[in-house]
Amino acid sequence: MKRPAALAALISLSLLPAQTRQKAPQSWDQVYLNPDARVPVNPSALVLETTANLPAGVALDAGMGNGRNAIYLARKGWKVTGIDLSEAAVRRAREEAGRLKVEFDARVGDVEKMLLPRAAFDLILCLYTEPLAVRAARKFIDALKPGGLLLIEGRHIEALPLAAAAYPRTGFHDNQLLNVYHRLRILRYEDRLMPSEWGNDSQDPRARVVRLVAQKR
């Protein structure tokens, strides 16, 4: 698949020591290789709503999973790079993109170990990868173009007891995203009970979900 020139500057950084993150790719591979796993396949409602009237530009989908949002944007004319820890997830994304004859840059990697090009992206997505959304905040802000948008969605930490036991308690705390992304102009912030796209309890699809849409000044 073709690689947008603006993204060629992605450079690997030194490995991070956290053992839990070292195990994460294998854990997610198990999810994506499990035919019974409830993995969302449709584009996120937040992505659909926010990008409906945006002109196509350059986008980064950090923690893209099976590429459901990256492929949607690519079909709309965006130049997209999607990154995920899981080889199985990226393989799914590439297969689906090939089936749809859509080109985007799908790569296996850890965004936290990469140097993103500065002011390169019109849009950055970080959905249901709660720790990454917090730890990579400065990196995401620097990588956005002026006027670029950041979209984040994930579960509040209090919602996770309602979610499947396989998912660790790594959700957002009260107003955490507002504090972490205070340098951006907040266009939309929600913290409410609603259907969660990931980690739903089998008896109740609702969870406390946090959403942020912010713009670089």
Q: Is residue 185 part of a domain?
A: no
146 — pLDDT class (breaks 50, 70, 90): very high
Check residue 19 and give its pLDDT. 32
Q: Return d(Cα 199, Cα 26) in angstroms, integer.
A: 18
Q: Is residue 119 part of a domain?
A: no
* CATH code for the domain in which residue 108 is found: 3.40.50.150
Check residue 200 and give its pLDDT. 61
Structure tokens at 201: 């309890």
The tally of CA atoms less than 13 A away on the side-chain side of residue 78 is 28
This prediction has a pTM of 0.86
Classify residue 56 as exposed, middle or buried by CB count within 10 Å of its CB (0-12, 13-18, 19+). middle
User: Each residue of 10-37: pLDDT tens digit?
Assistant: 433 222 333 333 456 778 888 888 888 8
Q: Is residue 136 part of a domain?
A: no
Name the 3-class secondary structure at 51.
helix
Question: What range defines the domain where residue 85 resides?
Answer: 1-7+24-30+55-114
Q: Is residue 158 part of a domain?
A: no
